[in-house]
Amino acid sequence: MRKLAWVLVALLSASGCSSGLFSSGSAQKPAEEDVDSRRPTPPRDNRTRAKLHTDLGSLYLQNKNYSVALEELTMAIVVDPDYAKAHGTRGLVLYHIGEMQLADRDFQRALSLDPNDPELQNNYGWYLCQIGREKEAIPILQRAMKNRLYETPERAYLNAGACYIKLGDLDNAQGLIEHSLRIVPDNPQALLQLADINYQRGNLDLASRQLADLIRKAKPNAEALWLMVRVERKLGDRLAEARYAAQLKRNFPLSPEAHELLKGNFE
């Protein structure tokens, strides 16, 4: 993100500096070839152009502008069909818009082009876990964990932990999540998953304390609020349950968690 921001700032600076070359009064207009020499030169090689489109697509993806993200990433792939990151990032966009078959195809294409990229491995493993293919996801996430070049291995540990939670293997899940916390202490998502494990084990008082500690450190998302609702409901604290339910409906009215709340599906 910082690199993309720098590129954009550099382009803006390059295009804007020409205004400083003009002064009021009798200054002569620069020759046409001088103006051309000051124009930013668009990148000519396909990989650089594809990377720029991919970086922009990633930015739009983070802002949940999926249609523009898809356009940018598709342009990247047209420019350079062998750029693995463009395929992998488009796979994430396609997942978010519900095109699962196309997403899977993009992820597999990305890994065929760059099978040792840990970020691609992590993202594909996360995707498989999201769609109920946890047993396929875990070996892929393990490859990302073991890659010494991966700058953010805690993500793979955390995603694998989430997969094990879905499989009901809470012991393995806890070990992986705690490992991720040794890499990045106080990661809110990891702390939330630990609270979820304790909720599933019936350690409700501990889960409640963990969640209370979590919301002191970070603003709760829909997932955290929904877990708070269910924990307090089981503890019998109707006031706390109603308070967290109101926050969930107010702050995340379109979330899957709010939908479950409205249906009364607390398990």
Instruction: Report, as an integer, the average pLDDT of 46-69.
Output: 96
Structural domain contains residue 166: no
pLDDT for 98 beyond 70? yes
Between the alpha carbon of residue 104 and those of residues 19, 68, 185, 205, the distances in Å are 48, 20, 32, 40
Domain that holds residue 253: 186-267
Residue 8 falls inside a structural domain: no
Domain annotation covers residue 148: no
**pLDDT confidence of residue 30:** 43
Domain count across the chain? 1
- Is residue 91 a contact partner of residue 75, using CB atoms and an 8 Å limit? no
The closest of 137, 135, 132, 123 to 93, measured between CA atoms, is: 123
Residue 18: inside a domain: no
Looking at 31-152, list the stretches that DSSP marks H as alpha helix, in order from N- to C-terminal side: 32-38, 46-62, 66-79, 84-96, 100-113, 118-130, 134-146
94 vs 1 pLDDT, higher one: 94
Residues 21-55: tens digit of each pLDDT: 223 333 444 444 444 445 565 557 999 999 999 99
How would you class 27 by CB atoms within 10 Å of its CB: exposed for 0-12, middle for 13-18, buried for 19 or more?
exposed
Could you give the percent of the chain with pLDDT greater than 70? 84
Domain assignment of residue 202, yes or no: yes
In a domain, residue 224? The reply is yes
pLDDT at 41: 59
Question: For residue range 141-164, what is the model confidence (pLDDT) as tens digits?
Answer: 999 999 999 999 999 999 999 999
pLDDT over threshold 70, residue 123 = yes
Measured distance CA(90)–CA(212) in Å, rounded: 37
| Cα–Cα distance for residue pair 75/89, rounded to 1 Å | 12
Model confidence, pTM: 0.79
| pLDDT score for 42 | 59
CATH number for the domain including 241?
1.25.40.10
Alpha-carbon distance of 210 to 177, in angstroms, equals 14
Q: Cα 122 vs. chain centroid, distance in angstroms?
A: 11
Is a pLDDT exceeding 80 seen at residue 6? no
Residue 267 lies in a domain: yes
**What pLDDT is stored for residue 185 in this prediction?**
92
Mean pLDDT for the chain overall: 87
What are 169-224's pLDDT values in tens digits?
A: 999 999 999 999 999 998 999 999 999 999 999 999 999 999 999 988 889 999 99
36 domain residue, yes or no: no
CA–CA dist 255, 267 (Å, integer): 16
DSSP for 13-57?
HHHHGGGGG--SSSPPPPPHHHHHHHSPPPP-SHHHHHHHHHHHH
